């Protein structure tokens, strides 16, 4: 799944639900905010929700969900397209004006971009912003690596987390969070014995987990 195959990116509701799941998993496994990889804010602004990824090395993506649909901006700092600053201007030209809240959000660092998708609720699939030079490979824009999690299931997250956190993550617990099962002490402890249900209550509320 990448900018070369936008039809493989799940529909908006599925992406929204999945990004809430991986943000909730991150909040439990890694309570320290500064070290979290994925996050979700269900009250980003009136009628808006925001999902994000930051890997601490300069790579990131942001997704804004609102009444118009959803839009994704990603930046892979080592990819070839990262050196083409004209691509940021292309995003402003190509993405429909109805996504103005996304296009002009300072927190999204829109001047730093290597790939971008958008989709209206009425659209049958996602659209991609192509660079001025034409279509580039998923390796050249970083999309294949950075958004792979959005097309995978619990096994995909478990494999990633085992490598990133350098610990085994119980698949059954990941599956429960992906299914948005109600949080309880046992589920939280299975993912992180040093974390409690009370400790992540505010995170669950911010993420809007289960909604």
The reported pLDDT for the residue numbered 138 is: 76
Shortest CA distance to 174 belongs to which of 186, 162, 191, 160? 191
Q: Decide if 1 is inside a domain.
A: no
Q: Decide if 132 is inside a domain.
A: yes
Query: What is the average per-residue pLDDT within 68-84?
Result: 93
Shortest CA distance to 66 belongs to which of 120, 113, 117, 26? 120
Q: Decide if 133 is inside a domain.
A: yes
Q: Decide if 108 is inside a domain.
A: yes
The reported pLDDT for the residue numbered 81 is: 87
Q: Number of structural domains, the chain?
A: 1
Give ∠ CA 31-110-112 in degrees, rounded to 5.
85
The gap between the terminal CA atoms of the chain, to the nearest Å, is: 26
How does residue 71 score in pLDDT terms, banded at 50, 70 and 90? Answer: very high
Q: Decide if 122 is inside a domain.
A: yes
Global pTM?
0.95
**How many residues can be counted in the chain?**
211
Query: What is the average per-residue pLDDT within 6-19?
Result: 97
Query: What is the average per-residue pLDDT within 167-192?
Result: 96
| pLDDT of 174 over the 80 cut | yes
Residues 118 and 70 sit within 8 Å (Cβ to Cβ) = yes
**Alpha carbon separation from 195 to 12, 29, 30, 32 (Å, rounded):** 31, 8, 9, 11
The reported pLDDT for the residue numbered 74 is: 97
- What domain range is 28 assigned to? 6-207
Q: Decide if 107 is inside a domain.
A: yes
The reported pLDDT for the residue numbered 56 is: 85
The reported pLDDT for the residue numbered 35 is: 83
The reported pLDDT for the residue numbered 16 is: 98
Query: What is the average per-residue pLDDT within 30-38?
Result: 87
pLDDT in tens, 91-112: 999 999 999 999 999 999 999 9
Query: What is the average per-residue pLDDT within 19-26?
Result: 98
How does residue 85 score in pLDDT terms, banded at 50, 70 and 90? Answer: confident
Supply the angle between the helices 171-178 and 12-29 in degrees, to the nearest 10.
130
How does residue 34 score in pLDDT terms, banded at 50, 70 and 90? Answer: confident
Query: What is the average per-residue pLDDT within 199-204?
Result: 96
Residues 177 and 26 sit within 8 Å (Cβ to Cβ) = no
The reported pLDDT for the residue numbered 33 is: 80
């Amino acid at each position: 799944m990448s900018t070369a195959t936008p039809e493989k990116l799940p529909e908006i509701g599925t992406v929204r639900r999945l990004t809430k799941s991986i943000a909730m998993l991150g909040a439990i496994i890694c309570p320290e905010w500064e070290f979290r990889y994925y996050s979700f804010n269900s009250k980003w602004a009136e009628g808006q929700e925001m999902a994000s990824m930051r890997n601490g090395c300069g790579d990131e993506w942001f997704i804004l969900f609102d009444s118009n649909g959803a839009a994704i901006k990603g930046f892979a700092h080592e990819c070839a397209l990262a050196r083409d600053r004209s691509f940021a201007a292309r995003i402003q030209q190509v993405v429909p004006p109805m996504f103005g809240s996304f296009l002009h959000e300072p927190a999204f660092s829109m001047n730093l971009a290597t790939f971008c998708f958008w989709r209206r609720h009425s659209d049958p699939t996602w659209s991609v912003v192509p660079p001025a030079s034409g279509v580039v490979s998923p390796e050249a824009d970083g999309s294949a690596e950075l958004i792979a999690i959005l097309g995978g299931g619990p096994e995909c997250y478990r494999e990633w987390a085992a490598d990133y956190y350098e610990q085994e993550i119980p698949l059954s617990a990941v599956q429960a969070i992906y299914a948005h099962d109600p949080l309880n002490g046992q589920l939280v402890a299975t993912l992180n014995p040093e974390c409690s249900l009370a400790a992540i209550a505010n995170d669950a509320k911010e993420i809007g987990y289960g909604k």
